[in-house]
Structure 1
Amino acid sequence: MRHRNLLKILSICSSVDFNGDEFKASVYEFMANGNLDKWLHQVGVGDHEPPEKHKNLKLIQRLDISIDVASALEYLHCGCESTIIHGDLKPSNVLLDDEMTAHIGDFGLAKIISTILSNMAQGPSNSVAIRGTIGYVAPEYGMDDMPSTLGDVYSFGILLLEMFTSKKPTNDMFKDHLNMHIFVKNALPERVMEIVDPYILLEHKTTRWLNDCMVSILRIGVACSMESPRDRLEMGSVISELHKIKNTYMNAG
């Protein structure tokens, strides 16, 4: 697998550490700007700190990262010899290089569909479940449904909503029957500016085009995170829509 938005593995090694214990390691390309989670949810930076202390993502950077991640998923789903499911997409598994280009990493849960189908044909004793991470994992996985590309689409939808609202899907406000998907869906379109990340509002004055831009982006996130897999978008359509939004943003800006 080779794609500009997949974390590149450089080598693997087996050695002994300073305590004399054996270990095995994968060596990946260094990502100078860390992971997306640390950019979205900074710990230890108080409100009293000057703005330059906050490492905030600009709106165009969030759009570019969204397109990067979507492109990587589309490649895994459609561009390889076998369809590949990542299985654990979340902000901490999105790494950013020195130019803020996004790379998907941590394929510990990745599954190749052809292998899964082969195993299932051999008997029901073979476990092919993908557990993922709470808040990002597709609801059908909790009912032992077979992993699918649409499970990755769900995770991408939640990640997209998190990127533009700055709220984690595990936020304490999400309980009982309220989750990230419903929270955003209920705000569209009239109250969209009430739920977007405040730093987006600091970067831009609230205008009609900004409102329309946020509505369009969050609608994609909602469409990707539908409860029923058959109601979700395909990644090819997601990429196309995100590029349209980016072009509109660049022309308006």
Structure 2
Amino acid sequence: MGVGHFGSVSKGVLDLDKNTVVAVKIISLDLKGATKSFMAECDVLRYTRHRNLLKVITACSSTDFHGNDFKALVYEFMSNGNLQQWTYNDQHAERALNLLQRVNIAIDTACALDYLHDNCNCNISIVHCDLKPANILLDNNMVAHVGDFGLAGFHLLSSSCINNSSVAIKGTIGYTPPEYGLGSRVSKEGDIYSYGIVLIEMMVAKPPTAGMFKEGLDLHKYVKKALFKNQLSKVIDPRLLDDCNGARNGVQDENSAANVCKMKCIKSLIKVGLKCSVDSPQNRIKIKDAINDLQDTKDTFLKELCIINRYM
């Protein structure tokens, strides 16, 4: 199904009688840091349980039929793939995510981070370190589940817990906060930066590593400039407007009541993304405040859309 930092993921059946479909992450032990990644992910999964985190069914550490060391993690299968596939893959072109689905995914992902950072009931704060669309999985109901904790780090909140926060630079280019490149330790603020980039990416359908981003221009600055010039409609994913027909035919009525309502919602979402992805860690919005802003935006969007539909 895919390849990650330290192994591949395959689809399988765990119980032939119950026909339990699973995703099996097989760790490539010949890669440097693979065993450490496996242990880090096991540690995180041992401490956590949340509706927006990918559920692990079991872990395997044994030898294969050839006597070689073998390690694997077995997860609940996510039938709708990941956010990256929905944003860019042609297989979903005819059923792109609508605006409400993207809002819900944004809220789900933020709730997962809030739990990891402050509410996992283990007296430690867990930093994901590699939040990106490929690590946000979607189930049958399009509920988002954050997965892949192979790079996660622990931050001590109580002397009774193990401190495992001593790490090198982590993450994926484009989503890693700038302070990591300057030698700063991983932090909750680093995750919030990554989240902000993901949120902006969901709205514009452009990856932070796109070729257009060079000579000082990045995804954050690109969208911030469009917001300042009141030109967001020119940079957002066109499928967000008139997602039932107009955008698909290449025609958009930006002044229609529905699209005005959508643009108001998109603008609010992008503002949250920008607040999360500022360069200075100290100036980034708190994840709880981001959740509140996103929920308010969703509530307002649904109320206004309901009023519009009532008079159409």
SS at match of 2:278: coil
Q: TM-score normalised to the size of structure 2?
A: 0.72
Name the residue aligned to 2:282.
Answer: 230
Q: TM-score normalised to the size of structure 1?
A: 0.89
> 1:123-162 alignment to 2 at 5 Å?
127-162=166-201
Q: 2:220 aligns with which of 172, 181, 184?
A: 181
SS at match of 1:188: helix
What letter corresponds to residue 189 of structure 2 in structure 1?
L
> 1:98-137 alignment to 2 at 5 Å?
98-114=140-156, 127-137=166-176
Give aligned pairs, total: 240
**Counterpart-to-counterpart distance in 2, 1:11 and 1:23:** 14
Identify the structure with the greater helix proportion.
1
Cα shift at 1:129: 2.5
> 1:28-39 alignment to 2 at 5 Å?
28-39=75-86
The verdict on how the C-alpha distance between 1:119 and 1:67 changes in structure 2, with shifts beyond 3 A counting, is closer
* Matching of residue 24 in structure 1 with residue 71 in structure 2: yes
Identity over aligned residues, as a percent? 46
Which consecutive residues of structure 2, in runs of 5 or more, have no partner in the other structure?
1-47, 245-252, 306-312
- CA shift digits 1:46-73 (9 cap, x unpaired): xxxxxx8523001100000000000000
Cα shift at 1:119: 6.2
Conserved? CA contact 1:109–1:130, under 8 Å: no
**Counterpart-to-counterpart distance in 2, 1:112 and 1:171:** 31
**Counterpart-to-counterpart distance in 2, 1:248 and 1:102:** 22
Conserved? CA contact 2:127–2:153, under 8 Å: yes
- CA shift digits 1:112-140 (9 cap, x unpaired): 1119x9769xxxxx952242000000000
SS at match of 2:124: coil
Which consecutive residues of structure 1, in runs of 5 or more, have no partner in the other structure?
46-51, 121-125
Larger radius of gyration: 2
Conserved? CA contact 2:58–2:74, under 8 Å: yes
Identify the structure with the greater strand proportion.
2
What letter corresponds to residue 64 of structure 1 in structure 2?
N
RMSD (Å) for aligned C-alpha atoms: 2.1
The verdict on how the C-alpha distance between 1:21 and 1:185 changes in structure 2, with shifts beyond 3 A counting, is same
The verdict on how the C-alpha distance between 1:53 and 1:133 changes in structure 2, with shifts beyond 3 A counting, is closer
